[in-house]
Amino acid sequence: MLSLYLHIPFCASKCSYCDFNAYAGMSDLIAPYARALAKEVRMVGEAGGPEGAGERGEVHTLFFGGGTPSLTPLDSMADIFSAIRESFALTDDCEVTLEANPGTVDLAYLEGLHALGVNRLSFGVQSAQANELSLFNRIHTFDEACETVRLARQAGFDRQSYGVNLDLIYGIPGQTPERWKDTLARALALEPEHLSLYSLSLEFGTAMRAWVQRGLLPAPDNNVAADMYEWADAELARAGFEQYEISNWARTKDEGGRMKDEIQCTILPPSSFRLPAFACRHNLQYWRNEPYLGFGAGAHGCISGFRYSNVLSPAAYIQRIESGEARPFPLSPALAEATPVDVKTAMDETMMLGFRLTREGIPADAFRARYGVGFDEVYARELRDLTGRQLIEVGADRARLRPGARLVANRVFEKFV
């Protein structure tokens, strides 16, 4: 099955840690950008052949990421949804996530999103501490984040849908373990179905990196961040969450009360294997190295033996889509780069991405079904070395990270680059 990622690159202000393709001060481009996005979806859908991309498989996840997608007005969102539904076949239980920034939405907006088919919200909460939110240049307080989650519940984003995710950041300069514990406790009190916990990284070109380099802020301490991670992992297990990826935890069926089967591998169900019911299906698509199309400025896609990305600038993207012609599926007029993925590269990527999945890992039967060869044959030397260094475990059914290696997973990934 197929997944679609739609990038909305606009923000009310730029966060001090953020190096994503996102821009403040361009709100006048939001409406024309949304029109271009709808047009790109139609062009790519049509280029998929007489039956559109439907013949390439149904779409089972959509993800609106940013930037701040929740800055897009409802009428523009409605246009984009019409284009998606006209151009692609969506499964009945399609997971539809939208990233939302607390402080940018009200009840009517959230109800409108729900009516359009959005069934999962991901809120960039980041911290419950006023000083940390201000350091991040966030536009909301933690109380506003709580109120936004309450409104989301009222609008129908509950356990009958795919629920609510909260993003939190730890390892912040000057952050004490007590503050991190307080942030996590207050986030848990909101009873999210899903949590993403990210260790602060100082990305090139960000204000945060410049402040640290100029000595205005202490550098994040990796050892403190590692302790925060271990503590959070234990605390989340106590709260009924199951970790399924290095930075991601979800409620299980028992705790979450969601009456549907847990997610299985879409290539071949690994025997007797389950993921927590509220694991994000869209992100699983990436980590399982399965196909997705990317729409919008700077969006990436991976399908039909290519990885590709669109032009970064929103203005250039609009111009390309307005004046361009669709190329053969899946390439859009906004394409900036396309790289063929040969079979060995695809296998490397399947290993590298699969090791992110802390429980599922790389299922041996799925790998063999896809590539006609076992990972133990292709990567015998690498697997022996990593097993010897206590970084991974390789069983008859799967290879995966050892729990103690989650903080040094790069040592595993680098073997498959």
The residue ranges that bind ligand SAM (CB under 6 A) are 17-18, 20, 65-66, 68, 99, 101, 124, 126, 167, 169, 198, 200-201, 203
Report the alpha-carbon distance of residue 45 to residue 337 in Å, rounded.
Answer: 19
CA 75 → CA 4, 38, 78, 80, 115, distances in Å? 20, 12, 5, 9, 12
Quickly list H helices, 307-342: 314-323
Least distance from ligand SAM to the Cβ atom of residue 171, Å: 8
327 with 313: CB under 8 angstroms? no
Per the document, the length of the chain is 417
- Nearest C-alpha neighbor of 116 from the set 178, 73, 150: 73
Q: Which residue is nearest to ligand SAM (CB)?
A: 124
Choose between 222 and 264: whose C-beta lies nearer to ligand SAM: 222
Least distance from ligand SAM to the Cβ atom of residue 231, Å: 18
Least distance from ligand SAM to the Cβ atom of residue 406, Å: 16
Choose between 20 and 306: whose C-beta lies nearer to ligand SAM: 20
DSSP 105-140: --HHHHHHHHHHT--EEEEEEE-S-HHHHHHTT-SS
Report the alpha-carbon distance of residue 187 to residue 181 in Å, rounded.
Answer: 10
Choose between 201 and 387: whose C-beta lies nearer to ligand SAM: 201
248-251 vs 241-245, strand pairing mode: antiparallel
Choose between 46 and 182: whose C-beta lies nearer to ligand SAM: 182
Least distance from ligand SAM to the Cβ atom of residue 306, Å: 24
Choose between 12 and 378: whose C-beta lies nearer to ligand SAM: 12
Choose between 203 and 322: whose C-beta lies nearer to ligand SAM: 203
Least distance from ligand SAM to the Cβ atom of residue 260, Å: 26
Least distance from ligand SAM to the Cβ atom of residue 135, Å: 12
CA 189 → CA 64, 161, 277, distances in Å? 26, 19, 20
Position 242: which residue type? E
Position 178: which residue type? E
Choose between 67 and 333: whose C-beta lies nearer to ligand SAM: 67
Least distance from ligand SAM to the Cβ atom of residue 8, Å: 9
